[in-house]
Amino acid sequence: MYKLIEFIRSIYVVVLFIAIEAIAIGHYARSTHYARARLLAKATQVVGAGHDALAGIRRYFRLERENRDLLEYTARLQERLSAYETADKTLFEITAEAPTTDSLATDATETPDAIQRILNDPQYRTLTAAVISSTISKPENFFVLNRGTRDGVKREMAVISASGAIVGYVVHCTKGYSIALSVLSSSFRTSGMLSGSTYRGSIYWDGADPHTVLMGDLSKYADPQPGREIETNGSLFFPDGVKIGRILDAQLDETGTTYTVRVELDARLSGLSHVILVENRDLDEIHSLMQSDSIGHYIQH
């Protein structure tokens, strides 16, 4: 009881002040219509600011879910785009290889079925993943992802950013996690093409700058002007047309036959939080074909 009395004595001044303020505000509010209007406007402003702050907090905690939903939607669009590009290429090849009227009639019958099979069973499958950790300053750099074999992840799946640019490819996976080799690795290799042309080269990292890679063996006829885009083409891992970056500068080699091009990466690898995994469903068949006995026979001879 004594402690309660001491507590009341310690705060009675504050309580008395609040009570007097409340009485004064109530008297002021009843004095005139103008005073009531001002108090109502202030109260509305305070309540509105409070609601806005609470809404901002709710939006912040929803960002992770919204980003994940957007990434999954982007992955589905990437999968459909790859299917339509494959179908378009197939249609072009069927049309180009039809030399006679009879074959044209046959192709006209078979083409819709062939295109539908491609769209129903696309070559590329996509899924999303979050980046748990990553490095960019070592000779060999990696990403650890929160998806593994139980989620459908396989070795050699391509890894691209949410904006559709190359990041790397999966080199190892466990049940719940996977590790991807970054494009910023001395052992990383893929093929690239000068956008809008047929000139190709080899993409690799020289270890100098975490924002750029090199493109070697590009033909001297390619005219690699600064600003032109480089994209994937002819890669086993990546679908054709995935962004790599833009040309910064180019130098002819000593023989004057090929360019070495410095390319600014489109993806900012130091700030990645989510990525898209892309599986080439024909990769096992391609590997089996390349390792077949017939191929080995030709290599030996």
Residues 283 and 135 occupy one common structural domain: yes
Q: Cα 118 to chain center, whole Å?
A: 24
User: Is there a domain that residue 144 lies in?
Assistant: yes
Out of 37-51, 69-83, 94-108, least confident range:
94-108
Residue that terminates a domain, selected from 61, 90, 110: 61
Domain limits at 287? 126-296
Predicted pLDDT of residue 18: 78
% of the chain residues with pLDDT over 90: 36
Tally of domains in the chain: 2
* Phi/psi-derived region of residue 56, left when phi > 0, alpha when psi is between -120 and 50, beta in every other case: alpha
Residues 268 and 146 occupy one common structural domain: yes
Q: Rounded to whole angstroms, how far apart are CA atoms 74 and 69?
A: 9
User: Do 244 and 234 form a contact (C-beta atoms < 8 A)?
Assistant: no
14 or 130: whose pLDDT is higher? Answer: 130
User: Do 295 and 173 form a contact (C-beta atoms < 8 A)?
Assistant: no
Tell me the three state secondary structure of residue 168: strand
pLDDT tens-digit map of 215-263: 999 999 998 999 999 999 888 889 888 999 999 999 998 888 999 999 9
Mean pLDDT of the chain, nearest integer: 77
Residues 49 and 136 occupy one common structural domain: no
**Interval 196-208 mean pLDDT:** 93
User: Is there a domain that residue 81 lies in?
Assistant: no
Q: For residue 8, is pLDDT > 70? A: no
Q: Cα 138 to chain center, whole Å?
A: 22
What is the value of pTM for the model shown? 0.66
Residues 287 and 141 occupy one common structural domain: yes
Predicted pLDDT of residue 235: 85
Q: Which residues of 72-105 are buried (b: 16+ CB within 10 A; e: fewer)?
A: eebbeebbeebbebbbeeebeebeeebeeeeeee
Q: For residue 213, is pLDDT > 50? A: yes
Q: What is the CATH number of the domain that holds 194?
A: 2.40.10.340
Element (H, E) at 213: strand 212-219
Predicted pLDDT of residue 283: 84
Q: Is 236 exposed, middle or buried (0-12, 13-18, 19+ CB in 10 A)?
A: middle
Predicted pLDDT of residue 118: 47
Residue that terminates a domain, selected from 17, 36, 61: 61
Q: Rounded to whole angstroms, how far apart are CA atoms 298 and 301?
A: 5
Q: Residue length, the chain?
A: 301
CA separation, residue 226 to residues 118, 167, 195, 200, 245 (Å)? 37, 22, 12, 16, 11
Q: Rounded to whole angstroms, how far apart are CA atoms 209 and 160?
A: 20
31-35, 53-57, 161-165: which has the highest mean pLDDT? 161-165
User: Is there a domain that residue 77 lies in?
Assistant: no
* Phi/psi-derived region of residue 253, left when phi > 0, alpha when psi is between -120 and 50, beta in every other case: beta
User: Do 260 and 220 form a contact (C-beta atoms < 8 A)?
Assistant: no
DSSP state of 165: B
Residue that terminates a domain, selected from 61, 84, 105: 61
Nearest-5° angle of CA 125, CA 129, CA 135? 120
Residues 263 and 188 occupy one common structural domain: yes
Predicted pLDDT of residue 284: 81
